[in-house]
Structure 1
């Protein structure tokens, strides 16, 4: 699990970790397809595409991440970028439906036959979102990240181009 704020280097670190496995890599994209109406998003997608070697496989899965993870073959590394985009797909779901989708994702992460590297955005480090949807995104993403980190073999925080091994330098926060 690789966590970090925007423009922190988290995707670069995740790509590095994926290469270190020595396995063939499948890049699993969860974001929206860029449109001419959003040139900044197109720019970000282009940056990611330009870094990927031609031999990496790419799957653009949107909100169908759970299904995609379960369909992956063994003996590959799947780099999922990113969980924030996946959460954004589900913002219109009611709480019950959201929790059901999260459980499906948690099960898929546990049951996937591939080695997984998950990338997720850290939010809520500063200003409280001024909109209800912004707060919902922050809360849903943060809750999902805590559950996924519990299942991860390694957890990293990337800030300002520096990767910090969370397992080696942190303590689990008690839930009582």
Structure 2
């Protein structure tokens, strides 16, 4: 089992940049794992026999041109020798199938992993028709399976995620379920992590 680092922050807080900087200092063979569909994520060649290189896992769902541009900007910010792996709905399997000599994996970000899991459910406007406890338990089971694979890997992991629990209460059921799930997932990861940071205005605050 390698070390786990959790990085939280709001939109444009600098969390992805901080994750990249950490990875560059800590490893050479990086896998960037993308947990969402993307038309623009590319796969780059990596020298296979060099141990200690970081691995980066991206997570972005490209549903329109604006999102595509955001994902492309993130891709351009990563070193060219890092390998990008796209995993829209099989993140856990992708983690389990990583090369054993991978030095470090960046999962960026957990937010899309959770939202993609929620996307498997059919929601209605009436809260009474949403089995919230069943949905939350099912999604958290998937989260626990992912964490088990992360712990089983010899690679170090940097997991990036959006802190969404500091704003207003969402006015609709799906938004509240998503917010609550993110909070539970963050607590699960933070407990298992060796390090945890909160990014505010580009400044990392060490929590653990």
Instruction: Please tell me the TM-score bracket, short chain as reference.
Output: 0.7 to 0.9
How many residues are treated as equivalent by the alignment? 167
Alignment of 1:1-176 (within 5 A): 1-34=6-39, 38-72=64-98, 73-91=100-118, 92-93=120-121, 94-167=135-208
Q: 1:75 to 1:160 in 2, by over 3 A?
A: same
How far residue 46 of structure 1 moved from its aligned partner, in angstroms, is: 1.1
Q: What are the Cα deviations for residues 139-170 of structure 1, in whole angstroms up to 9, with x where unaligned?
A: 11110110101111110110111111111xxx
Q: 1:36 to 1:109 in 2, by over 3 A?
A: closer
Partner residue, 2:45: none
How far residue 37 of structure 1 moved from its aligned partner, in angstroms, is: 5.7
Confirm or deny: 8 A CA contact 1:61 1:68 kept in the other structure. Answer: yes
Q: Which runs of 4+ in 1 moved over 2 A?
A: 34-37, 92-97
Structure 1 unaligned regions, length at least 5: 168-176
Partner residue, 1:170: none
How far residue 36 of structure 1 moved from its aligned partner, in angstroms, is: 8.2
Choose between structure 1 and 2: higher helix proportion: 1
Aligned-pair RMSD on alpha carbons? Answer: 1.7
CA distance in 2, matches of 1:41, 1:49: 12
Q: 1:37 to 1:90 in 2, by over 3 A?
A: closer
How far residue 75 of structure 1 moved from its aligned partner, in angstroms, is: 4.0
CA distance in 2, matches of 1:152, 1:79: 14
Confirm or deny: 8 A CA contact 1:70 1:113 kept in the other structure. Answer: no
CA distance in 2, matches of 1:74, 1:151: 22
State the TM-score, normalized to the length of structure 2. Answer: 0.75
